[in-house]
């Protein structure tokens, strides 16, 4: 487990430092602008999905500062523990929060947090993850069904290119019960179910990944390889953490890039892009977090100012069993080796960063 776990621990430390920095900056406010005392608590779900600390938090803080200078944004992390996140909500309410931007640690155990906020008459804006069983003003998320469809379509293309009567796949799913996990599976199955029904594809291993933990995904993949004697043609994940776990399992057991296909990525982390150019991972679904920060900040400002939700963003709804939550569904883009440039051109990473460790690949030789 050395490769993924080592980089994960370092990323976690860096992410925590970044959150501490943006929290401190946000707390200072902007001296030149009169503060109105408004407080926004941005509650992250965990540290295992590294995008939240590394990119979502600082981008949201910056977007809020640009739109509503002087608003204090306080970033805290539930660390994958719904009880801890409930305490963070209660603490935010005790500190006179005006808005809670909430990415649930566990969607199915969020009702208590939502009720506490509703009882205190403090609005909640859901961010990416759903939260079941309570009131929320709005939900900003990437189109989860579209993500699953992109993953499923790509898996179908790979499977159809294999010269095999039956393709054996392992499914590394996300956190059980989440709206996103459910939608990703529905989207994937739109393309894969006909293959299951026809006997063209056999699922030899499948498991949910608690808290999207890459280490648990790696452990599952290693166990699957052992139980099947390596007779797996494709690992299908749901985000870059779960696909990264599969890649780390292959590396730890001595496989070579492409020997067993790993697909189903999502988030366009730097590690995933590096795996793609090196040939270990097939794809990632790019979700431009700058766009998400803008949508969340615009929606947050409207809620804070008592105005209508921004019509430019709200384009649907998500039913969380308590209500139909107005939703801003954001677009996604599937990225494989030929269009890694989409992420670079968006200014997310440089070619030097993407090609670290993959300098010998053709795509890197063409762009470095």
Q: Where are the domains of the chain?
A: 2-143+288-331, 144-286+334-367
Q: Residue 35: what pLDDT?
A: 54
Interval 201-236: pLDDT, tens:
999 999 999 989 999 999 999 999 999 999 999 999
Burial per residue of 154-166, b for 16 or more beta-carbon CB atoms within 10 angstroms, e otherwise = bbbebbeeeeeee
Model confidence band, residue 189 (pLDDT cutoffs 50, 70, 90):
very high
CATH dotted code for 144-286+334-367:
3.40.50.2300
Q: List the Cα angle 97/296/54 in 5-degree steps.
A: 90
Q: Examine the pLDDT at 197 and tell me if it is beyond 50.
A: yes
Burial per residue of 112-147, b for 16 or more beta-carbon CB atoms within 10 angstroms, e otherwise = bbbbbbeeeebbbbbbbbbbbbbbbbbbbbbbbbbb
Summarize the chain as % helix, strand, coil (round to 5): 50, 15, 35
CA 218 – CA 99 distance, rounded (Å): 37
Model confidence band, residue 105 (pLDDT cutoffs 50, 70, 90):
very high
Q: Residue 37: what pLDDT?
A: 82
Burial class (CB in 10 A: 0-12, 13-18, 19+), 324: exposed
Mean pLDDT of all residues in 3-22: 39
Q: Residue 49: what pLDDT?
A: 87
Interval 14-56: pLDDT, tens:
344 444 444 433 433 333 333 578 999 999 999 988 889 999 9
Q: Which CATH superfamily is domain 2-143+288-331 in?
A: Response regulator (3.40.50.2300)
pTM value? 0.80
Q: Examine the pLDDT at 131 and tell me if it is beyond 50.
A: yes
User: Whose CA is closest to 4, among 302, 194, 219, 192?
Assistant: 219
CA 266 – CA 281 distance, rounded (Å): 11
Mean pLDDT over each residue of the chain, to the nearest integer: 91
Model confidence band, residue 7 (pLDDT cutoffs 50, 70, 90):
very low
Mean pLDDT of all residues in 358-367: 95
Q: Do domains 2-143+288-331 and 144-286+334-367 have the same CATH topology?
A: yes
CA 222 – CA 276 distance, rounded (Å): 20
56: left (phi over 0), alpha (psi -120 to 50) or beta: alpha
Interval 153-185: pLDDT, tens:
999 999 999 999 999 999 999 999 888 999 999
Mean pLDDT of all residues in 128-150: 96
């Amino acid at each position: 487990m050395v490769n993924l776990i080592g980089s994960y621990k370092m990323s976690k430390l860096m992410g925590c430092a970044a959150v501490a920095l943006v929290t401190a900056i946000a707390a200072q406010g902007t001296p030149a602008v009169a503060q109105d005392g408004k407080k926004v608590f941005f509650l992250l779900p965990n540290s295992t999905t590294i995008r939240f600390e590394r990119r979502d938090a600082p981008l949201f803080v910056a977007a809020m500062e640009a739109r509503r200078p002087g608003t204090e944004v306080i970033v805290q992390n539930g660390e994958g523990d719904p009880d801890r996140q409930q305490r963070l909500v209660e603490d935010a309410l005790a500190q006179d929060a005006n808005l809670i931007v909430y990415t649930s640690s566990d969607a199915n155990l969020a009702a208590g947090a939502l009720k506490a906020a509703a009882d205190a008459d403090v609005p909640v804006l859901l961010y990416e993850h759903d939260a079941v069983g309570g009131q929320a003003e709005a939900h900003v998320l990437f189109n989860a069904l579209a993500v699953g469809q992109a993953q499923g379509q790509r898996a179908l293309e790979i499977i159809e290119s294999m010269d095999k009567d039956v393709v054996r796949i392992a499914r590394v799913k996300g956190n059980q019960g989440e709206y996103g996990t459910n939608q990703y599976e529905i989207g994937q199955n739109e393309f894969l179910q006909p293959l299951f029904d026809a006997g063209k594809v056999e699922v030899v291993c499948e498991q949910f990944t608690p808290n999207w933990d890459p280490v648990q995904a790696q452990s599952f993949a290693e166990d699957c390889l052992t139980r099947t004697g390596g007779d797996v043609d494709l690992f299908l994940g749901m985000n870059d953490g779960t696909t990264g776990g599969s890649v780390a399992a292959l590396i730890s057991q001595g496989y070579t890039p492409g020997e067993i296909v790993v697909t189903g990525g999502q988030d366009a982390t730097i590690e995933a892009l590096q795996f793609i150019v090196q040939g270990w991972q097939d794809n990632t679904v790019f979700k431009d977090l700058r766009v998400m920060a803008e949508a969340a900040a615009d929606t947050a400002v409207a809620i804070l100012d008592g105005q209508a939700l921004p019509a430019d963003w709200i384009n649907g709804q998500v039913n969380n069993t308590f209500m139909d939550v107005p939703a801003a569904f954001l677009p996604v883009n599937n990225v494989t080796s030929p269009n890694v440039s989409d992420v670079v051109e968006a200014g997310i990473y440089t070619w030097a960063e993407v090609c670290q460790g993959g300098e010998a690949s053709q795509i890197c030789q063409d762009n470095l």
